[in-house]
Amino acid sequence: MGEESRPVSSHPLSEDAVEKLIKLSALDPQSEDIPHLRGELEKILGHVDSLQGVDVSNVDPTSHASEAHNVFRNDVLGEHLPIEVVLGQAPDSSGRYLRVPLIIEG
Amino acid sequence: MSTSLPPTQITPDISAIDAARLVASGEVSSVELTTLFLDRIEAHRDLNAFIEVPRERALAEAAEADAKRKQGAIAPLLGVPIAVKDLILTQGVRTTAASKILSNFIPPYDATVVSRLRAAGAVVVGKTNLDEFAMGSSNETSFFGPVKNPWDTSRVPGGSSGGSAAAVAARLAPAALGTDTGGSIRQPAALCGIVGMKPTYGRVSRYGVVAYASSLDQVGPMTRTVADSALLCGVLSGEDKHDATSSNRAVPDLVAACQRPVKGLRVGIPREYFVSGLSPEVKESVLRVAATLEAQGMIPVDISLPHSEVGLAVYYVLAPAEASSNLARYDGIRYGHRSTDAKGLTEVYRKSRSEGFGREVKRRIVIGSFVLSSGYYDAYYIRAQKTRTLIAQDFSNAFRDKCDVILAPTSPTTAFKAGEKTADPLAMYLNDIFTIPVNLAGLPGMSVPCGFDGQGLPIGAQLIGRPFDEETLFSVAAAFERVDTSWQKIPNGYA
């Protein structure tokens, strides 16, 4: 292990590609410093590219380190949080409902 | 059991076990003990170790503990003040994840680990600072400002559980809870000279813990002694119907495990962890641990974990991928920050998130979006998951054929200067190079104090065990603690 290998990513990202990723991430492209972020991503992905040298043929992927088991429960009503407490955390609400901005625009 | 200490001589250096004993015997009240620590938290505000200190509520909980004791109640942590990382939900007490986006969030329920602490009688004395959403290794990404290391306040305490580590090291609480996704309990424990324990994945419930990377996250204790760590680990562990990944295995008596003999146990020394990038002082100190354990009858064995080198790359694909999904819930609609400068739904999402998240969090969300996007999914995400399998196999092969416990450095260096690595994310990520593989394999891992460098900064040694074999870790850590006094040293000005 060490800091010696920092290859440049074999998948250079254009600024347009970074902007697309920002939108995919539900972030605001106008508020983000795209050139700076692009430089950081290139460096990080450059390090991540060391994975391409690992022989993973015939290896199964691991998604979880747990002893996976199904959990079965009876389909009965359990405890739930009081609605007024939950709505109390919402930025905006009305009666028993969350208030959201206009959804169908135009 | 009683002790000869009169109440006037309680020192802030008291362990959780001794504190519980004094409260149980009636020699000290929980209110006295809790007041002592609340006053110290106030006196050392400059460390910035806490985000929220609910003083009145903590004193009310302490008074309740005293009343219960008088009625004959017995509980392992009755009346003992404990600090909780502010990533862990506490009903009615603000929980922020050190993010602007949750800066006003009051949880409507307790995390299971907090319910378990309360059932054991503990008093929640405050919520500790952290890197925003637990993403960081220096506690410099917090919306509430950086935490200082009590050993040298110009240096970082490590992260992401840096507030918990600094609080325990500065004797602002006998013990604290942390969380560990890639080293966030063990690395700050090493940099602050305390004991940090990450249990096996599934040992402790994650319900009510703000999610970062769900296949890696785990809660654990941060303490000054191994026995305290064992006591807390036992309290926190066990199946929880609210977390389907929590294990239904029986929880052994971990405090008793601290007394077990270690003679004949084989300790594996992975050669891949003692290479370039590791500070010579840390290396020397950790190898001295091997010699100390050998002197107690353990057998050092050279082992190889050949895929260690790519652990960091695997982590920086999988953790951001999981984070980009987990953090999608912060949308400015149901709770958390909503931008006041947005028109329409899409703009509310985008602006609330851009305003609410800090730079490191946004960087990881974007990386996650990249590795999960079509065209890159197989090359990055699936390949990382396959490499994760190889890393886990390295450990299982070593534990099957060669050793009972593994000894390694916790962090490549001791505490570094604040600001030293903030401009280079990759240099910051390398702090976790020795801790990340343990999360990827889901194993229990522990950092114990093992010495100091030439500047008087603490060094941590990491012990790694088989899945659900926390007992062996506690046996070995306790055996080491009995002969090495590093854990007893108090940072200057915090006695």
Q: Which DSSP string do the residues of B194-214 spell out, in sequence order?
A: SEEEEPPTTTB--TTB--S-T
Find chain B residues with C-beta within 8 A of A52's C-beta. Answer: 379, 383
Cβ contact A1–B272 (<8 Å)? yes
H/E segment holding residue B289:
helix B280-295
A91 to chain B, any CB pair closer than 8 A? The answer is yes
Nearest to B334 among A2, A3, A90 (CB): A90
Cβ contact A28–B215 (<8 Å)? no
Residue B347 has pLDDT above 90, yes or no: yes
Q: Tell me the average pLDDT across A3-17.
A: 62
Q: Please give the residue of chain A at the shortest CA–CA distance from B240.
A: A71
**For position B171, what pLDDT does the model report?**
98
For the stretch B80-135, pLDDT in tens is 999 999 999 999 999 999 999 999 999 999 999 999 999 999 999 999 999 999 99
| Domains of chain B (ranges, CATH numbers) | 16-312+382-488 (3.90.1300.10), 313-381 (no CATH)
Nearest to B333 among A40, A100, A105 (CB): A100
Q: Tell me the average pLDDT across B187-199.
A: 98
Partner residues linked to B367 by β-bridges: none
**For position B1, what pLDDT does the model report?**
42
Q: CB atoms < 10 A from the CB of A39, how many? A: 13
Find chain A residues with C-beta within 8 A of B108's C-beta. Answer: 81-82, 85-86, 88-89
CA distance B86 to B88: 5
Percentage of chain B exceeding pLDDT 90: 95
CA distance B344 to A98: 15
Q: Are B156 and B138 in contact (CB under 8 A)?
A: yes
Q: Quote the distance between the C-alpha of residue B223 and its chain's center.
A: 10
Catalytic residue among B85, B100, B198, B351: B85
CA distances from B135 to A31, B486, B489 (A): 21, 29, 29
CA distances from B491 to B42, B53, B151, B286, B453 (A): 18, 23, 5, 21, 14
Residue A105 has pLDDT above 70, yes or no: no
Cβ contact A61–B332 (<8 Å)? no
The angle subtended at Cα B428 by Cα B425 and Cα B431, nearest 5°, is 150
Amino acid at B64: E
Which tokens sit at B367? 């990386």
Q: Please give the residue of chain B at the shortest CA–CA distance from A33.
A: B359
Which residue carries 């999402």 as its tokens? B349
Cβ contact B390–A82 (<8 Å)? no
**For position B2, what pLDDT does the model report?**
44
Exposure string for A50-60, b = 16+ CB within 10 A, e = fewer = bbeebebeebe
Q: Is 0.90 topped by the overall pTM? A: yes
In sequence order, what are the residues at sequence separation of 6 or more whose Cβ sits closer than 8 angstroms to the Cβ of residue B414?
A: B191, B279, B281, B282, B453, B455, B457, B458, B459
Confidence category of residue A3, pLDDT binned at 50, 70, 90 = very low
CA distance B172 to A69: 41
Mutate to test the interface with B, among A14, A34, A62, A63 (most CBs of B within 10 A): A62
Residue B160 falls in the annotated catalytic set: yes
Find chain B residues with C-beta within 8 A of A11's C-beta. Answer: 376
Q: Of B162, B143, B138, which Cα lies nearest the Cα of B105?
A: B143
Mutate to test the interface with A, among B386, B390, B428 (most CBs of A within 10 A): B386
User: Crossing angle, helix A15-24 and helix B359-372, to 10 degrees?
Assistant: 100
Exposure string for A5-33, b = 16+ CB within 10 A, e = fewer = eeeeeebebeeebbebbbebbbbbeeebe
Q: Tell me the average pLDDT across B305-318.
A: 97
CA distance B288 to B297: 14
Residue B184 falls in the annotated catalytic set: yes
Q: Tell me the average pLDDT across B352-371.
A: 97
Find chain B residues with C-beta within 8 A of A54's C-beta. Answer: 307, 310, 383, 386-387, 390
Q: Are B236 and B219 in contact (CB under 8 A)?
A: yes
Q: Of B265, B232, B256, which Cα lies nearest the Cα of B120?
A: B232
Q: Of B214, B204, B27, which Cα lies nearest the Cα of B117?
A: B204
Give the residue, A67 or B121, on which the prediction is more confident.
B121
Catalytic residue among B29, B30, B160, B308: B160
Q: Tell me the average pLDDT across B207-230.
A: 98
Which tokens sit at B136? 């960081």
Confidence category of residue B7, pLDDT binned at 50, 70, 90 = low
By the 10 Å C-beta count (0-12 exposed, 13-18 middle, 19+ buried), B2 is classed as: exposed
> Which residues numbered 46-85 in A keep a CB inside 8 Å of some CB on B?
47-52, 54, 56, 59-67, 71, 73, 81-82, 85
Find chain A residues with C-beta within 8 A of B434's C-beta. Answer: 1
